[in-house]
Amino acid sequence: MQDENIVIWLPSPLGDAVLSTPALRAIRKHFEYAKITFLAAPEVRRILSPGTFNDSWLEPSTGNPLKITATLREHRFTRAILFKNSFAAALAVFLAAIPSRTGYARDGRSLLLTDRLHAPKLPDGKFRPISMIDYYLAVASWLGATTSERGLELSVNPEDQEQLRAKLPAIFEGEGPLVILVPGGAFGPSKFWPADKFSLLADRLIDNYGATVVLSVVANELESKTAGQICNLCKHKLINLAQEQVTLGELKALFAEADLVVSNDTGPRHIAIALGRKIITIFGPNDPAWTDTGWEKEIQLIGRVHCAPCAKPNCTEPEHFCMQAVTVEMVYEAAKKLLEKSPQKIGLP
């Protein structure tokens, strides 16, 4: 294994990339002396860096598998490990003539792989909900790695901490807890807990704990609008990241400082867990089994209604039943439990 030259093609969503870190850690330990290159989008590189699981990075400048094939050939890889599920990824490593090609046999790509895993399915043919942590760890196990460690892992660059402190000094000046609210989500608005509920929660945390509350959103139209609605409804001033230029490295540094994170079921939730934060996650349209981490400092609040989980990015019901089912009181009581008690006494559901 010392002469191995391995490329691992990482998943694109940030949340999935973070959920793959236990498998990446296991593969690094198993192929201790191999050269390991990660192939990933720039934002995935930024969220996983700095790190010790790989030796180098490749960032595809295009989604064209033929152009990626040419790049792969240049590096003469001996083994390709596909965490990305697309047909194009399997086609690229096949055309690059990489001798060993490991991944899930799905999306019509079985014949392009030399080592094929099969994700568990339900009797109706749909994929059975399992944690993506275990989904990726199964690949590491197939390769012979020890896969008993399931903990997510991220590191923060000290320079990003310093830049965050200079950019947003108010985060560090409050006497109360630092609470980060994550009211958006790349999946779609069906995962959004209502803005008026977030605003009521923020006001209660500020009134009762003197909390410094930060809204963590990306600067797209939908999430910026949501953050604006929350700020307009609050009687207290919040720190709105839709109005700040924060890098992914600085975002990690911010989350590393948080006393509590309250999040929709979206990527920043996994960042918080990987950095060891206390967190409340609000679930509605998606089955929590897909992203279960077993994190002892997480409280999950699930909108258990007749139409959930639907896995739809946009709600098609007359009302957003699943998210309305999670009340402000439920989230506040969970926050109170996490802020006032040690992890050993939390008694998580």
Q: How many CB atoms lie within 10 A of CB 349?
A: 8
105 pLDDT above the threshold of 90: yes
Return mean pLDDT, the chain.
Answer: 92
- Report whether the peptide linkage leading into residue 50 is cis, meaning its omega lies within 30 degrees of zero: yes
- Walk me through the domains of the chain, giving residue ranges and CATH numbers: 5-142 (3.40.50.2000), 159-345 (3.40.50.2000)
Higher pLDDT, 289 or 270: 270
Predicted TM-score (pTM) of this structure: 0.92
Sign, CA dihedral 209-212-218-222, equals: positive
Query: Can you give the length of the chain in residues?
Result: 349
Backbone angles phi and psi of 282, in degrees to 5: -105, 120
Residue 44 structure tokens: 């995935």
CB atoms within 10 A of CB 3: 8
* pLDDT tens profile 39-48: 999 999 999 9
Higher pLDDT, 69 or 315: 69
The answer to whether the Cα torsion of 46, 50, 51, 56 is positive or negative is positive
Q: If pLDDT is split at 50, 70 and 90, which confidence band does 346 have? A: very low
Q: List C-alpha distances in Å: 260 to 99, 161, 255, 297.
A: 47, 18, 9, 10
Q: What is the pLDDT of residue 58?
A: 96
Q: Return the residue matching tokens 């690059």.
A: 96
Q: Whose structure tokens read 């002396």? A: 33
Q: In percent, how much of the chain has pLDDT > 70? A: 97
More confident site: 254 or 66? 254
